[in-house]
Amino acid sequence: MLVTLRDVLQKALKNDYAVAGLVTLGWEDMMAYVEAAEQENCPVILQAGPSCRQHTPLPVLGKMFNYLAENTSVPVVAHLDHGYSEEECKIAVDCGFSSIMFDGSKKTFNENIDQTAKICEIAHSAGVSCEGEIGFVGYSGGEGSLGTDPQEASKFAIDTNIDAMAISVGNIHLQKNKEGSLDENRIRVIEKVTHIPLVIHGGSGIPVEQRTFLSQNSKICKFNIGTELRSFFGESLRVAVNKDLNRFDRVQILSDIHRPLVDKTRDILKALKPVSS
């Protein structure tokens, strides 16, 4: 079933768990993520990030996400990840996305507030959730992260009326190992001055134990996971291709990846679920 980000994160906030925002690149991983969520009986957030949108147009992605949501009993959020313009966010809303994330984190503080608030109003008027980001989250081997200022986070959350807030607390995009660690002291200060669900981008670089702990013991209700699953997909694809060098049909090759990817995704989902599950 198709739901909004607010639907799943408010429930997670009240019941001390987190939901995985899984970065998608194509039909094969989308199917695997939803099947894993079905088997774990938990919600899942399908995310179309910039690289996904370069490969497949938003109208097509919207239909793919909606088809998968309509054909499963678990809650599925169709989410635009890192929308960088009002136009892009409007297109996503018009294409059936139930949630959008506007990333104004590299703009000035006031510009970020003003633009995020405007886009949030557009989303809410269409019954769509909106996530914003305060404090730029950098990239492994690229620009460094800028830590989120708690007082700015408080004002940002209030003035924009967003449903979820992505923060920079030691997390880094595209981190291949799990040597990163979140600044729990900064998280606690942010929690004291804001009451909306918090989001961690670059979740692949965070040790699983810390993901689990913060899912159950903080207001972090969403961990974005991309690199971890993309790396696994690539490794599995190499194995499938080399298994039989005479095979050329990509449907046959990709079919070998499905079950391992479902199992890998289930492990990620399990680490974020409530204790009683």
Which residues does the annotation mark as catalytic?
A: 81
Q: Which of 215-253 are b and which e, b meaning 16 or more Cβ less than 10 Å from the residue's Cβ? A: bbebbbbbbbbbbbbbebbeebbeebeeeeeeeeeeeee
Q: Which of 1-22 are b and which e, b meaning 16 or more Cβ less than 10 Å from the residue's Cβ? A: ebbbbbbbbbbbbeeebbbbbb
CA quadruple 184, 49, 5, 102: dihedral positive or negative? positive
Nearest alpha carbon to residue 222 among 181, 163, 144, 264: 163
Query: Which residue is it, tokens 């906030």?
Result: 13
Looking at beta carbons, which pairs linking 112-115 to residues 24 or more positions away fall under 8 Å? 112/156, 113/155, 113/156, 113/159, 113/160, 115/86
- Please answer whether residues 179 and 111 qualify as being in contact, where contact means their C-beta atoms are separated by less than 8 angstroms: no
First-residue to last-residue Cα distance in the chain:
20
The helix or strand, by DSSP H or E, that contains position 227, with its residue range, turns out to be helix 227-243
Query: Which residue is it, tokens 């079950």?
Result: 259
Measured distance CA(220)–CA(189) in Å, rounded: 13
- For residue 173, what are the β-bridge partners? 139
